[in-house]
């Protein structure tokens, strides 16, 4: 589990993460937490394409205007070259969920397609321009089991 913080979408340095993942081929699940309102489409498209080229095989988006981030990442995926026609990048958006719920999904539910199962062992949370969100991710990553219990107990309480 890695947390990558950036001040803006065009300043996300994926080399920091890729260098930590090991020898290729390596793939990862990414959760992008971003308030995308006002961020130009080309900046988001570029981020999506860079994520896929870096090895993201599942990309979840969260935050205001995350559906647009999802759609532009899908477009970036369509434009990217994958090794075979069976290599699919899974994308999701979480506009009606809390950050905790979106993060829980990335940690415990998101899974790559069969082509990437053996090489995908990492979750990368990319938090853009929000120290508050980054702190929440850091807390979750520091004790994932406790985080999961907290999220699941909250879900049980809301179902009552």
CATH number, domain with residue 114: 3.90.190
Q: How many domains does the chain have?
A: 1
Say if 96 falls within a structural domain: yes
Say if 87 falls within a structural domain: yes
- In which domain, by residue range, is 59 found? 2-154
Q: Predicted confidence band at 158 (pLDDT cuts at 50, 70, 90)?
A: very low
pLDDT at 14 over 60: yes
Nearest to 112 by CA among 154, 82, 150: 82
CB atoms closer than 10 angstroms to residue 153? 10
Span 4-17, average pLDDT: 85
What Rg, from alpha-carbon coordinates, does the chain have? 15
pLDDT of residue 75: 86
- Taking the complete model, does pTM exceed 0.75, yes or no? yes
Span 145-152, average pLDDT: 93
Per-residue pLDDT tens for 101-140? 999 999 999 988 888 888 898 999 999 999 999 999 999 9
């Amino acid at each position: 589990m890695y947390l990558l913080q950036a001040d803006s979408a065009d300043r996300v340095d994926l080399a920091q993460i890729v260098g930590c993942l090991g020898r290729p081929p390596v793939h990862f699940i990414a959760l992008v937490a971003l308030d995308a309102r006002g961020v130009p489409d080309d900046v988001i498209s570029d981020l999506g394409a860079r994520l896929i080229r870096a090895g993201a095989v599942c990309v979840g988006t969260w935050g205001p205007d995350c559906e647009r981030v999802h759609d532009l990442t899908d477009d970036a995926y369509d434009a990217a070259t994958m090794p075979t026609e069976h290599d699919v990048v899974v994308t999701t958006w979480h506009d009606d969920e809390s950050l905790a719920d979106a993060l829980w999904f990335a940690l415990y539910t998101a899974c790559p397609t069969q082509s990437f199962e053996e090489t995908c062992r990492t979750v990368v949370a990319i938090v853009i321009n929000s120290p508050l969100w980054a702190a929440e991710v850091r807390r979750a990553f520091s004790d994932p089991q406790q985080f999961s219990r907290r999220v699941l107990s909250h879900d049980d309480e809301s179902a009552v």
